[in-house]
Structure formats: structure tokens, C-alpha cells
Chains A and B, each alone.
Chain A
């Protein structure tokens, strides 16, 4: 690989701008059987919470035209388990290690952040946008005023690079992103899943126990791209763009719309090593188009 895809994101050097999205790659272990993880720019951990969570009951996945809905509900082993069992392996890899943190209350977030402050991680991705957790999660990320409280509090306490993951279900995602910048976040990532619904018409009941679930995949890509474009044009801190990226062409679109890095999520379910195809395709596009570095086409629209 040349330096064509080398990217500086919030002062951190990525060998390429492609990361795996939280919740679609576990902690990298399973995917390492499919490709060399070190070819990635970065990995976002499965969404972690202070304490272990067993996640939601009932059906957790539902396929839709060009997409899927999930209602996992942040099933995860908790911060302490992650630090002991997965972080050492993640840290030994030559890639940017992004830890995704969710929570139910400001107290939970704060306690987790105090623990993570002592660990060597590259970026903390603060999830204020999970649609599948009844209290907290996305509720923090709908109203800018409510979100400000948590971003302010975490920024005050967290010493490292802080990226806020935004919900497309926010009332005003541009306002939300501007608030993150004002409160001192280093970056934002967007978008998380869109709130959707499916009904089992035979049983006359919602498919999901939580009624609503998060829609992802190519179905949401045009909307995600529009939001990334609007946000990137409104703020100065870098944007990590995601939402239905399944090809290198999609990735280039997000970069042109203003994303500095991109994340691949649901695409990995179509093909475990789809991120490798995306990186190779982006590299070749730059070569073919005479682009010396990907930053030349960033935010050109």
C-alpha cells in the first residue's frame, strides 16, 4: 500500500481511512480468521457499558429490502472484562483502536470513563445514539440540550481523544454536531442506525420485543451521506462517516461529502472481508485518478 490513503484524523495517523463499525465486528477476533486486521485503518469495539449487559430478548435481526434491522440491545461483557480479555490483543495490533462506550445514566458513563482513562486506547467513541436501549442510549442523543450535558461531563473527565457517535434520529443532527464541537469533542461519527419497525402480520404483533429497532445497510446510505455532508460543512472537527457503505464507491462518496474517515458496518455481514475490497478499491481509484492523497478529494462538495 502506498501513502495515498494515509489519513490524519483528529491528530491521529490512520494508515487508511477505513474502520470497522461498532457492533459489527465484535472485538476483531472472529474476523481475523478472514483477513489481516492490520490492513484496516481502525476498529471500533462492540459497544461497551460499565457493567455487563445480556441484551434484548426475542428476535434480534430482521432483513429488509437492501438492509436489516437489529435489536441487540448492547449485549456486551462490560468494561472490566474487555480491558482484561480483549484490550491487550487489540492494543498489540498495528491499527487505530477505537473503544465504543454506551451507558444508561451519566453516572455509568462517568464511572466507565474514569476506568478507561487509565488504559491505552486511541479514540473513545461515545455512543449517545443506540436506539435499542430503553433508558439512556439514544435518549441522550435526540435533544441537543440533553446531549450537551453528557458530552460536557465526559469531555471534562476524559483525557484522550473523544469522538461522539451521533444518531440520525436526532431532532437536528447539525445542531447536535456543532454542540459536540463547542463542548470540545475531537471528532464526531455518524450515523448510527435509523429507528424502524416491522410487524409480524400473522401474529399481529411487532417483530421486535422493543417494538422499534435500528435499520442499517445500503437502504440508509443516501440519507447518511446527506447528513455527513451537512454536518461536515457545518463543523471544523473531523467526521467519521458511516451508514450503508458496502463498496469503495460508497466510501469515496462519503469522503467527497466531507468524511475524513469512514466505517464499514453491515457490509461485513455480506462479506466478512468486504472492508479489504473497499480499501483496495479506494487505493486503485486514487491511482487511476492521479490523486496523491485521499485528502485531495475530501469535502470537495
Chain B
């Protein structure tokens, strides 16, 4: 059982929960991974896979949307309550550098914050204070990482200012299609998380624009065990069936969207 440090509403349906890491080491948590959360009660039966929003030395944060019974129970938990957080799961996003776009839709924005942070740390890029320096020697540092974040929300945005602190630029779309706002040709890599139709639209846009960007998508298949044993989250790929929870959730877009 882990101790909840804080848990509060950040927009109409989104909540942010920060939980003590306990025995889990922060350096073992990778961008794009998820934890299996349960309230400590027996029901609902299944644990909920929730993406990592952020990690610091002794806590992990989850940005989650209240969509059903399980997440509603999470939203009612208070500081000092206990919650079970079962270790980081999944492969996470690849550690890439260059011109990177992170594209999230709905609660799919959640993993992009920590992803942006880790990608920046990896390349030495450290938020907006470094942008000028970065721009000034752009010619010499073509592979220096710059991160643009595209966030699509149906109604109300959440935590935009947090994303603005760590990105080159943040583009927000309310109620429309975030995929309309991106020119995929501007990027070496695009990492995406959100509803499958959104990610598929992004993939199609990359193709239409003849973009050279390599697109990775984080799949949100329904899960049961979360550890790779039950095969309910199976994802069909060009390389055969893969387990979204264990082999994914992150896949190359062409591997999951080019199935005949």
C-alpha cells in the first residue's frame, strides 16, 4: 500500500494524484509507462492502468480522467489515504532526440509531461530558459532536442501551464481535432497518446504530408492483469500479436495501423 500525498481536481473531469513511491525507485520509472492502481477495496475487480504524469525522487503523479466507477473511487480518495500502485509497467516511449512533437488527446495527454521532461533531460535541453541558447547555435546543434507539445481536449484544458514550462511551444485544441494543428514535416519524431482514431488520423496525416517523422503511438487497449499473462489487451501488429501491457503500450504507428 502506498500513501497518497495529494489528490485534487484540475479540470472538469481530470484529477491529479501524487503518491509516495515507497520501495519503487524513481529512476526505474520510464516515460510512457503506467502503474496498475487499485483503491485497496476488492471492487471494482480489476486494477486500473494509469499513465505516469510525473515522477520525482520520492513520489509519482497520475493525471487521470473520471470515466467510470474505478476512476470515480480514485477521485474520492484524500491525502493520507492508501492506494495500491503496482510497479511501472510497459515499454514506455523511446529515448529519442531531435525535433520532437508530443501529441496527446484527452487523458492521453497524461504521459506526455514526464516524457517531455525525460527527453529534455536526456539531451541537456532544460525548458524555456535554454531556448535562446538553443536557437542561437541551431546550426551546430541540429540534433539538439526541441519539444513541441500538442494537446487536444474535448471541453476544458488541464495543467497547460505545467506543459508550457517544459516545452518549446504548446498548442492546445479545444473541441476540435488536434491533428489539424500539426505540420508533421517539421519533426524527426512524433510521440502520441490518445484515442485510437486520433492516433490513426495522425498516422494518415504523416503519410499524406510525406513526413519523414517517425511516429510512435501508445495504445490504450482494455487490460485485465496488466503484466502480460492474460492476453486480453492483445494488439494486432505487422509483427504478429503483441501484448499492449507488456510488449507495448508504445508501438511504431506503422506496425499497428498497417494491418491488412
Contacts and interface: CB of A to CB of B under 8 A. Distances in A.
Contacts of B46: 61, 63, 68, 269-270
Contacts of A217: 45
Contacts of B230: 23-24, 26, 61, 70, 72, 269
B225 A24 contact: yes
A23 B231 CA distance: 8
B248 to A, nearest CB: 14
A276 to B, nearest CB: 15
B222 A67 contact: no
B229 A55 contact: no
Contact-residue size bin, chain B (C-beta under 8 Å from the other chain)? 20 to 34
A75 B231 contact: yes
A218 B42 CA distance: 10
Nearest to B84: A271
A61 B223 CA distance: 7
Contact of A270 (B45, B232, B246): B45
A67 B46 CA distance: 9
B22 interface: no
A57 B235 CA distance: 9
A67 B234 contact: no
A59 B240 CA distance: 17
26 contacts: A25-B229, A26-B229, A30-B227, A30-B228, A30-B229, A31-B229, A54-B240, A55-B231, A55-B241, A57-B236, A59-B222, A60-B231, A60-B233, A61-B230, A61-B232, A62-B222, A65-B43, A68-B46, A68-B224, A70-B224, A72-B230, A217-B45, A218-B45, A266-B45, A269-B224, A270-B46
Interface centre among A24, A62, A246, A269 (most CB of B within 10 A): A269
Given A217-B45, A270-B46, A75 B224 contact: no
Q: Is the interface of B mostly helix, strand, loop or mixed?
A: loop
B47 interface: yes
Contact of B45 (A23, A25, A63): A63
A55 B228 CA distance: 15
A266 B246 CA distance: 19
B124 interface: no
Contacts of A105: none
Contacts of B231: 23, 26, 46, 55, 60, 72, 75
Q: Is the interface of A mostly helix, strand, loop or mixed?
A: loop
A227 to B, nearest CB: 21
A44 to B, nearest CB: 12
A39 B225 CA distance: 20
Closest 4 CB pairs of A and B: A61-B232, A26-B229, A60-B232, A30-B227
B86 interface: yes
A68 B234 contact: no
B72 to A, nearest CB: 13
A299 interface: no
Contacts of A31: 227, 229
A246 B41 CA distance: 13
A257 B24 CA distance: 42
Nearest to A247: B42
A37 to B, nearest CB: 12
A66 B43 contact: yes
Contact of B232 (A66, A70, A218, A272): A70
A75 B234 contact: yes
Contacts of A62: 222
B241 A272 contact: no
B246 A30 contact: yes
B42 A246 contact: yes
A25 B231 CA distance: 10
